[in-house]
Structure 1
């Protein structure tokens, strides 16, 4: 099992966000007038695929709404326009939430641009009034700042750090080495994933790994090593991946966030995945990357 696994999807290919240009009205106007510029229409927090691809349009084809400068990639400037949500059920069927279009993103170069756009759309959607005084908000800096018209307090986008981890036990690389996966109470039998949870105030990310694993499964984790990260605006998370080493192996699930947890050897994981009795997360998720990196090869079956 020596295959080189791909990097975490949607975590590479960064675009130039042109943060210093967001107040440059002449530069923005020039880019908006360029027919080569592309715009992603977003209705509320939803995107509309067209013919199996995301609907990037010219600026003159964009709907009315809040304009958001995303940045530049390969010489092309990208924007999003945040329009009101589609009103009718029939229209809503054409507009999908981010989860519904993840399969269209894959590891495409434009994936980070879409996550940037949806992250800002989610933030605009939930930040309707000033948290300090309740006043009306006005978009500034091409959608990246919301300024209160009453008290002048500025609001900035927030990202919630979340840890996601594969926990291992046994001699690394041996046939006896195992990894720990869990099943949510909402999931059907056989659907398992890595454990995850949000970082709490005043907590390091390493301690968040240890706390979440212990709270959900009763397993104590010692060494914690960084793996990779993945933006996940569902609605506003950054998934920070880790590999943890267990110092205890007795499982005692909490019953609320985790209904079932199991240790898997590589042989067990392969056999159950091939049989279809074990369903693992989709290939675009960092959870899948964590599992397959530990396993050492690609695995069959997805949710």
Structure 2
């Protein structure tokens, strides 16, 4: 499990990537790799499906097609969107089985290829923009506006009641039994902490008395940043908003363990910060 809390293993070469000649030279370096991502966000993997697999770079470097991800142990990595011949896997799968630089490459590749595909035009004048800085930005040739990959902040919170139970809920679109901690997007003009209070109250009717930061995780589906919190509830009374969630309930550790063992509850995927929050509570690791 990649905790996303330590120094990055991937060197994004922020200053050097602004020099086109330097980026082009990285493409030609021995050992340089190209990681393919298809239009569904599937990533090329090794035969075991346990990590991303790059192919040697070849042909001419095209700044509009090839995005520079960065350096791993001095080796340049690029990405592009295209059909994958061979094994592939989703970010949800790879996030559960790999970590470190491999996961950072995967997340970066999925996020950047989606951004270039979905937002090729200037938000100011509508002209088609061109990739710059090794694909980390896009510049409009008409009005000069520089665009960066958009990140949508969302809060996700483990709510703990006075009896040390955790609050889990289920959206109607999820499979029966799948439960998770509560989450939602941050509104414009709203702080992260305010979003925690608002989202929890809107979905469950629960008021909070203390909110503590837990950690964060990039979640490019297609461009979210999940910011995790732990919060203590004032009381355990629930008033569920059925437009937001289908059901919600408080769980003791014994309750959750039994429901998981019997298949009545399904945990969030291991790649998610939701899984980290719940398992941290199970292990009595939440401060």
TM-score using structure 2 length: 0.88
Aligned position for 1:150: 142
In structure 1, C-alpha distance between the alignment counterparts of 2:114 and 2:210, rounded to whole Å: 35
Aligned to 2:54: 56
Q: Contact 1:43/1:95 (CA < 8 Å) preserved in 2?
A: no
| Matched positions, count | 280
Question: 2: distance between equivalents of 1:217 and 1:138?
Answer: 45
SS of the residue corresponding to residue 66 of structure 1 reads coil
Matches for 1:85-124 after TM superposition, within 5 Å: 86=83, 97-99=90-92, 101-103=94-96, 105-124=97-116
Q: How far off its partner does 1:78 sit?
A: 1.3
Asked if residue 210 in structure 1 is aligned to residue 197 in structure 2, the reply is yes
CA contact (8 A) 2:43 2:106 kept: no
8 Å Cα contact 1:63/1:81 also seen in 2: no
- Give SS of 1:51's match: coil
Shift of 1:152: 2.0
User: 2:264 matched to 1:268?
Assistant: no
The residue number in structure 1 matching 2:242 is 255
Q: CA RMSD in A?
A: 2.5
The answer to which of 92-101 and 204-213 deviates more is 92-101
Alignment of 1:1-303 (within 5 A): 8=3, 12=6, 14=8, 15-44=10-39, 45-53=41-49, 54-60=52-58, 66-83=65-82, 86=83, 97-99=90-92, 101-103=94-96, 105-170=97-162, 176-296=163-283
1:250 positional shift: 1.2
**Structure 1 residues 115 and 162: CA distance shift in structure 2, 3 A:** same
Tell me, in whole angstroms, the C-alpha distance in 1 between the residues paired with 2:249 and 2:60.
49
Match of 1:3 in 2: none
Q: Unaligned stretches of 5+ in structure 1?
A: 1-5, 171-175, 299-303
Unpaired stretches in structure 2, ≥5 consecutive residues: none
Shift of 1:43: 2.8
Three-state SS of the structure 1 residue aligned to 2:198 is helix
